[in-house]
A and B are shown apart, each in its own frame.
Chain A
Amino acid sequence: MILLERNPQAPRAWLGNLPVTSRYTFGLGGERFFRAIKDEGKILGTHCPKCERTYVPATIYCERCLGKLDEWVDVGSTGAVHTYTLLYENYDGSPREEPEIIAFVSMGDGGIVHRLGEIDPEEVEIGLEVEVVFKPKSERQGSILDIVHFRPVA
């Protein structure tokens, strides 16, 4: 029996739902981080001098010592592929002809999880140097999707 086929033995059931809609704020750290993406096309981190860590995406506190972070740094536009995966199915379970490439790109002591583009899936490898590709400034909204993808450094 396939998954969605009706089972005549199943107990009687009816449908209900848990309706949840949330409105999220960027927060004090996110406000500055996403403004830099939107307005300047820059990726910012914050540095904790005590713990010698640079957090990307930037946060306003150090998770290790709970110190307040006010040393904001531009971490540049490139990073190395720390790890990646190739998605062969869409969100709805349908197959893809070409896989979507998702990578964790190291920046500072953290990094950004995003798509890789402008590259053949067979050419992706751990350690590959990639650079961020932003949408045109006029289309940026202050969202992680203001980044189109990362692509190999030319």
Chain B
Amino acid sequence: MSMRKVAVVGAGMTKFVRRAQETPKELSWQASRMALQSCELTMDDIEAVCLGTAPDAFDGVHMNGEYLSDGAGAWRKPYMRSYVGGGTGVFVPIQGWYHVASGLFDVVLVLAEEKMSSFYPHAQAAFLTIFDHTTERALKPNLLWIFALEMNRYMTTYGISKEDIARVSVLHKHNAAKHPCALLGDADITVEDVLNSETLAWPVQRLDVSPVSDGAVAIILAAEHIAKRITDKPVWIEGVGWSLDTAYWTNRDLVYPRYVEYAARQAYEMAGITEPRKQIHIAEPYDPFDYKALHHLEGLQLAERGKAVELYISGAAALDGDMPVCPSGGLLGVGNPIAAAGLMKIAELFWQLRGEAGDRQVAGAPRRGVAQAWGDLMQVGTVVIMGR
């Protein structure tokens, strides 16, 4: 298979906030414009636009992709929205990647937006209707209790304490305190704070969970010959992968995310990575809940099963550790405007690999990183490997 090399050449993001005054279109425009300005391109240079946004219910506009199109810069251009639930933010750059790798387009704008505050009274209610109307909805399930069930199974299987899982939330919120766009950065938060926070659905407590947020992120992708003209620091998309597990809870392994493993293996093979723990220098696993970062690190083959928490206990996951995890601050710290949160991880790798991450720059001039998201009916894994 002959595919062209594709680089990320620019990135921009809005602040992630609890409730934005901007409309979803305006958030999209702000991020798109910042991404263009970051690499001194104009819309005349953009040949196609890829959009990611999660359920229409959040922005409160049916056919939200079409609604957002003018803020996304789609006017008179090839344009398509992709959607794999929470996995969207790391899938939409994959969509952009194949637009360029295929040779169809040389320069593509990739945008992800979410305005969850529109959903009233709380965005969680948007999830009441994603479950099977015959077997599950009558019990009024929401994502918090679904993940509480999974977290309990994970921690019990491996004998991991809630104290140790809380370290994830603490580290990510510490990192987010250094991110200028973060909603819940907190340099002083402790494990005790997490353990003392309100219990929502045991074992999930308030500070185990990422916040509902509004925001948008955009990146610019370019083919190799163009990328080298735009910047002397292109960051290459070296591998991509995605995989879907069964939609049935009862048929899925709750302890180990096979869907992440399969997506990661696809991406690693494309990138020529045989020993991810040595060849990956930064990890941005999807962390809407603290245990989920651990779950996903194991699926990404960056830790043995049940052992990801040791990266946090040993300090390896810290900004100056051997395997920095979520240097951005992740969803737990920067915020979780669903699709935008995934693309935020791609933007973070872009800034980290160029040495432009400011106070949260990881040590040791990293050469390669992995970003991952997860979603759909809790069963899709999306993975992107980026390197310089």
Contact = CB atoms under 8 A, between A and B. Distances in A.
B36 A66 contact: yes
Contacts, number: 68
A102 B121 CA distance: 34
Nearest to A20: B57
Interface string B261-273: 0000000000000
B29 A61 contact: yes
Interface in B11-48: 19-23, 25-26, 29, 32-33, 36, 42-44
B126 interface: yes
Given A19-B128, A66-B43, A68-B33, A31 B119 contact: no
A121 B245 CA distance: 59
A21 interface: yes
B20 to A, nearest CB: 7
Interface in B122-158: 125-126, 128-129, 133, 137
A61 B57 contact: no
B73 interface: yes
A65 B33 CA distance: 9
Interface string B73-113: 10100000000000000000000000000000000000000
A65 B43 contact: yes
Is the contact region of chain A dominated by helix, strand, or loop, or is it mixed?
Answer: loop
B224 to A, nearest CB: 25
Nearest to B60: A22
A142 to B, nearest CB: 14
Interface residues of B, number: 31
A26 B20 CA distance: 10
Interface in A1-47: 16, 18-31
A64 interface: yes
A63 interface: yes
B149 to A, nearest CB: 23
A60 interface: yes
A27 B23 contact: yes
Nearest to B36: A66
B133 to A, nearest CB: 6
B61 to A, nearest CB: 8
Contact of A64 (B20, B21, B23, B43): B43
A59 B75 CA distance: 15
B120 interface: yes
Interface string A42-85: 00000000000000000111011110100000000000000000
Contacts of A25: 19-23, 118
Interface residues on A, range: 20 to 34
B243 to A, nearest CB: 29
Given A65-B42, A66-B73, A20 B33 contact: no
Contacts of B70: 59, 63
A3 B278 CA distance: 66
A60 B26 contact: yes
Contacts of A61: 26, 29, 33, 71
B26 A18 contact: no
A64 B75 contact: yes
A65 B76 CA distance: 11
16 contacts: A20-B57, A22-B120, A24-B60, A25-B19, A25-B23, A25-B118, A27-B23, A27-B26, A28-B21, A29-B23, A30-B23, A60-B26, A60-B29, A61-B71, A65-B43, A65-B44
Interface of B: 19-23, 25-26, 29, 32-33, 36, 42-44, 57, 60, 70-71, 73, 75, 117-121, 125-126, 128-129, 133, 137
Given A22-B120, A28-B23, A65-B42, 12 more contacts: A16-B137, A20-B57, A21-B120, A23-B120, A26-B21, A27-B26, A28-B21, A29-B26, A30-B23, A63-B73, A66-B29, A66-B33
